[in-house]
Amino acid sequence: MSALDALRRSRTRSAVPDAGRPEGRHLLEVSGLTTRFDTPAGLVHAVNSVDFHVDRAEIVGVVGESGCGKSVTIRSILGLVRPPGRVVDGTARFNGVDLLALSGAELRRLRGKEIGFIAQNPFSALNPVMRIRRQFAKIMAAHGVRSEGEAHDRARAALADVGIAGPDRVLDGYAHQLSGGMAQRVVIAMAMLLNPTFVIADEPTTGLDLTVQRQILDLIRAMVKEHERSMLLVTHDLGVVAQYCDRVVVMYAGQVIEHGTVREVLGTPGHPYTQALIRAIPRPGQPLVHLTGRLPDLVDYPAGCPFQARCPHAFDPCARVVPEPVTTASGHTYRCHLPQEKEAVR
């Protein structure tokens, strides 16, 4: 059984509808995105010239181990990086508009209305001292819904959409009265409230038990696919990528080291890091293969390939020269010197 088949056991994935997708134009196109944190220890190279895109009606996964820059990438796109962090270069075009060039007020208008954000920790996204009802009303008021009656009806409908049976009880309560799964449903309802065309979810099921994780991810996917929305889904879990995503972006040390369709990247991974991530997936009857070593120091950022110190195939140019991207005809791309080396030997 291939790694991809193993991941897909008893899982289904809906096809990406092609209809209505304008030629040659992506919904989100991130290019050269670079974010630094100016800390007492030095300049942290958190996100380094990141390029990727999301098309209409597709779910794109972002994977990579802890600290590789997934959250900083999406926070950069959403204008949520705070000092000492700063986006120092790049563009993030959403429907052709560069989000990085917008004012704070313009971005706030777009967030919520056109881009829904589901944060990693639902309790950090909810106000602990404000009733849930008031939090819904505030989001709607910020986007022009001033009637209390309408705000109430829409909040109830949004909670019903995420499977909350007693919406009034939830609306009258506070965040601390909710379980983790319920809190995440409330945050999803808030993110979807204004019917955004694009959803960004940062590890939306961290800390939830496996059954609830599955329920929440199924719910998010249904809401995204039903309305032909698009989604960027950040996750640690390649199993989640295999089940829920159409394409995947693999990050390492703040760089995109591989991207392509889920079938290509998980079925025929090009980068040794992606190969190692796939080998580290637990499989029944097979010994666990741990990914050894650590991410490089993001202050003293390595020259050449950032994975070189952990790579079993590293050879002469890897420590000196940044690998050029290798791209197949279908657009599967990875940054590694090995294919060029094999080509040269042939």
Query: Which listed range, 65-73, 127-135, 170-178, 224-232, lies at the site for ligand ATP (CB under 6 A)?
Result: 65-73
Query: C-beta of 73: minimal distance to ligand ATP in Å?
Result: 6
292, interface contact from ligand ATP, Mg ion, none, CB < 5-8 Å by kind: none
Residue found by looking up tokens 């950090």 in the block: 124
Cβ of residue 345: shortest distance to ligand ATP, in angstroms?
Answer: 35
Burial class (CB in 10 A: 0-12, 13-18, 19+), 146: exposed
Of 161, 318, 128, 335, which Cα lies nearest the Cα of 249? 335
User: Among 6-14, 66-74, 106-114, 263-271, which window interacts with ligand ATP (CB under 6 A)?
Assistant: 66-74
* Binds ligand ATP (CB under 6 A): choice among 70, 111, 185, 247: 70
Phi-psi region of 14 (alpha: psi -120 to 50; beta: other; left: phi over 0): beta
- Report in angstroms how near the CB of residue 191 gets to Mg ion at its nearest: 17
**Rounded to 5 degrees, what are φ and ψ at 236?**
-85, -15
Residue 288: both structure tokens together: 């666990």
Considering only 42, 67, 317, 325, the residue that binds ligand ATP (CB under 6 A) is 67
Binding test (CB under 6 A) with ligand ATP, winner from 26, 30, 57, 85:
85
* Residue 73 touching Mg ion (CB under 5 A): no
**Given the rule CB under 5 A, which of 65-73, 147-155, 160-168, 299-307 is the region that contacts Mg ion?**
65-73
Binder to ligand ATP among 37, 117, 273, 307 (CB under 6 A)? 37
Closer to Mg ion by Cβ: residue 46 or 159: 46
Residue 71 or 184 having the CB closest to Mg ion: 71
**Dihedrals φ, ψ of 79, to 5°?**
70, 30
How far lies 131's CA from each of 36, 122, 170, in Å? 36, 15, 9
* In the complex, least distance from residue 329 CB atom to ligand ATP, rounded to whole angstroms: 30
CB of 160 to ligand ATP, least distance (A): 31
Q: Residue 297 and residue 318: Cα distance in Å, rounded?
A: 17
Cβ-defined contacts of 236-242 (< 8 Å, 24+): 236/63, 236/65, 236/66, 236/203, 237/63, 238/7, 238/63, 238/266, 238/277, 238/278, 238/281, 239/7, 239/281, 240/61, 241/7, 241/61, 241/63, 241/266, 242/4, 242/7, 242/8, 242/11, 242/13, 242/266
The DSSP secondary-structure symbol of 22 reads P
Selection from ligand ATP, Mg ion, none that 67 binds (CB < 5 to 8 A by kind) is: ligand ATP
Closest residue to Mg ion in the complex (CB): 71
Q: Tell me the site size for ligand ATP, rule CB under 6 A.
A: 16
Residues 6+ apart with CB under 8 A from 240: 61, 217, 233
Q: Does the protein bind ligand ATP through residue 44 (CB under 6 A)? A: yes
How many CB atoms within 10 Å of residue 279?
A: 15
Q: Is 71 in the site for Mg ion (CB under 5 A)?
A: yes
Applying CB under 6 A, the span of 59-67, 138-146, 188-196, 319-327 interacting with ligand ATP comes to 59-67
Binding residues vs ligand ATP (CB under 6 A)? 37, 39, 44, 46, 64, 66-72, 84-85, 236, 298
Binding residues vs Mg ion (CB under 5 A)? 70-71
